[in-house]
Amino acid sequence: MKLLLICQSIGKGWAATSHIATELIESLSLDGNDIFVWCLGDSKSYQIEDEAGAISVEGIKPIPNFIPAPLSEFLLLQILCFRAMTTKKKFDLVVWMDSPRLAGTAANILKRKTNAISIAWVMDLPLEQILRRSGPIKRFLAKVFKSIQTKSLKKVDKVVTLGACMKSALTELNIPREKIKIIGTWAPDKWQEFQPAPDKSKSKFGLNDQFTIMYSGFAGDWHNFELICDALLLPENNNQIQWLFSGSGPGIDDVATLAAEQRDLNIIIRGRVEREYLQEFLSCGDVHIVSLDAEMEGTCVPSKLYPLMALGIPVIFVGPRSCQTAIDIENATAGIVCQTAVELLLAVNKLRDSAQLQKRLGANAKQAFIQRHCLSYSTREWNNLIRQCPC
């Protein structure tokens, strides 16, 4: 089968969507599929692993930064549509991600032109995020783009999304429920083989040997760091608890500002470590925090949870119980879900005071990872979906 993926970028860098897309196409190529990729940037930047099958990456030169975002979106749309109209390749299946936005228009051209099956891979709903948190001008532009995106979604054969909350958001756009299949994100199977040693890891990365709550990764406007900062300021926050924040984004900036103003708080800010040390660095956290603002429910599903489950580290999730992250944690009994600053600090102290509870939640997390959240499970789901398509 000839499969085309249209996406923002490819390669195993820090961007979650890029990394996950790369792991998927490598897995699908091993089943004898010929994979073609249209993405932004230099196509030579992606190195195909030796064991992978046939993968061809064609880059699209990014729109210059000085061009306003809405105009650059339309220019990119024109480039993708022109490529779809002029390509001589015939694809059996086109999978398009929601970044770059409006890529579905090009996919639908290929669908009409070659009778290809079209699958939308909805990993985020960025336009919906803008509508929920931005000013009037951005909301107006987002409505225009959203109407185009929604029309593309209604024309596809299947929609793959990450969770039940995102499925609900799509059905509100009148996307038929029977078209939507939930396939979550993952971590590589081999991550379960790593044995965390928190004391050793803390020593290696220059941290005190204290109970450590860790947040790692990008902290966007949709990650509810206001609540986390509120918890840090509560009098019940024991200074024997070490709070480690690693990554970037406005949420990390807010915590850094708080740490500078409240020097008695036991807060440590770190940048990212090289990916080769990531498993060991994540092991510095006795417990990890994953968060999502309630207002953003249904627009994304944090991918941070599943690598932590693979390592057998319990998670405190700060966010709504009805979103997929909370559902996965509670179904597996792999952590604690909380929705207020007081609940967050209570969960932290509860885990600090019970090594047995930490161990039990961590073991449950790893078991759930092996059963439902590893790469091999998700790629089987993708392969089953593809086999059902009448290509």
Which has the closest alpha carbon to 339: 356, 361, 317?
Answer: 317
Residue 137, pLDDT score: 87
Task: State both tokens at 180.
Answer: 């939507």
Cα(236)–Cα(239) distance, integer angstroms: 9
Residue 211, pLDDT score: 96
User: Which range is least confidently modeled, 34-43, 106-115, 203-212, 226-235?
Assistant: 34-43
Is pLDDT of 51 > 80?
A: no
| pLDDT (mean) for 18-40 | 89
Is pLDDT of 42 > 70?
A: no
Residue 391, pLDDT score: 63
| pLDDT (mean) for 26-39 | 88
Is pLDDT of 23 > 50?
A: yes
Q: At what angle do helices 341-352 and 355-368 cross, to 10 degrees?
A: 100
Residue 294, pLDDT score: 92
CATH number of 189-373: 3.40.50.2000
Cα(197)–Cα(365) distance, integer angstroms: 17
Name the pLDDT band for 50 (thresholds 50, 70, 90). Answer: very low
Is pLDDT of 120 > 60?
A: yes
For the stretch 317-368, pLDDT in tens is 999 999 999 999 999 999 999 999 999 999 999 999 999 999 999 999 999 9
CA 4, distance to chain mean position in Å, is: 21
Residue 167, pLDDT score: 95
Percent of the chain having pLDDT more than 90?
69
Cα(122)–Cα(182) distance, integer angstroms: 10
Residue 47, pLDDT score: 55
| pLDDT (mean) for 276-296 | 95
CATH topology of domain 2-186+375-388: Rossmann fold (3.40.50)
Q: Say yes or no: do domains 2-186+375-388 and 189-373 share a fold.
A: yes
Largest CA distance in the chain: 66
Residue 12, pLDDT score: 81
Is pLDDT of 117 > 80?
A: yes
Question: Which has more pLDDT, 88 or 69?
Answer: 88
| pLDDT (mean) for 75-104 | 91
Which phi and psi angles does 309 have, rounded to 5°?
-60, -40
Is pLDDT of 308 > 80?
A: yes
Is pLDDT of 13 > 90?
A: no
Average pLDDT of the chain? 91
92: left (phi over 0), alpha (psi -120 to 50) or beta: alpha
The torsion angle over the Cα atoms of residues 271, 276, 277 and 282, rounded to 10 degrees, is 80
For the stretch 265-281, pLDDT in tens is 999 999 988 888 999 99
Enumerate the domain spans of the chain: 2-186+375-388, 189-373
Which has the closest alpha carbon to 307: 275, 331, 269?
Answer: 275
CB 90 within 8 A of CB 100: no
Is pLDDT of 45 > 70?
A: no
For the stretch 369-390, pLDDT in tens is 999 999 999 999 999 999 888 7
